[in-house]
Amino acid sequence: MKALLFLPQLARFSDIGLAALRMLAGGFLVYGVWDNVTSAAHMQEFVAFMAAFGFPSPEIFAPLSVYAQLVTGALLFVGLLTRWAALVIAFNFVVGVISVHWDQTFREWWPAIVLVGIGLLFATVGPGKWSLDAMIGGEQHD
């Protein structure tokens, strides 16, 4: 009865779940900034967006945020330097929540706050055994 209630047998698939979430979140981050990376006009729109929200030096911090998301998204996708990438992701989106979403509804916060949570998850539990970190010995697993 206890096994039926708590489903402990699913724990054996935890690395599949971690890999899927890592790749989904990493792909989402890369996809989300790709237009800014490949188009100067889109990057300027993001600079203007950050300026409208009162960010200091948006011409510096807009590209910094975009490339942080691009690099950390790619690192998360493959599971390399995962804990560092995840900390940067969490920090970047905490700044976004505080600076952009603070006066919005929870529904409008949702994408950014979920990325904070995903960043904190991978910073604390690591990438799982199906990652480059595990392959090069940076993560020890059972």
DSSP codes of every residue in 6-36: H-GGGGGGHHHHHHHHHHHHHHHHHHHHHHH
**Res 139: pLDDT:** 73
Taking the model in full, what pTM does it have? 0.91
Q: What is the mean pLDDT of each run of 10 residues along the chain (142 residues)?
A: 89 95 98 98 98 96 98 98 98 95 92 97 96 86 53
What are the residue ranges spanned by the domains of the chain?
13-135
Q: Which residues of 58-71 are buried (b: 16+ CB within 10 A; e: fewer)?
A: beebbbebbebbbb
**Res 37: pLDDT:** 98
pLDDT digits (tens, 9 = 90+) for 48-71: 999 999 999 999 999 999 999 999
Asked if 133 contacts 126 with a C-beta cutoff of 8 angstroms, the reply is: yes
What is d(CA 83, CA 75) in angstroms, rounded to the nearest whole number? Answer: 10
**Residues in Cβ contact with 56 at an 8 Å cutoff, skipping those fewer than 6 apart:** none
Containing H/E element for 55? none
pLDDT digits (tens, 9 = 90+) for 115-127: 999 999 999 999 9
**Res 93: pLDDT:** 97
**CA distances for 140 relative to 67, 120, 136, angstroms:** 29, 19, 10
What is d(CA 140, CA 142) in angstroms, rounded to the nearest whole number? Answer: 7
**Res 141: pLDDT:** 56
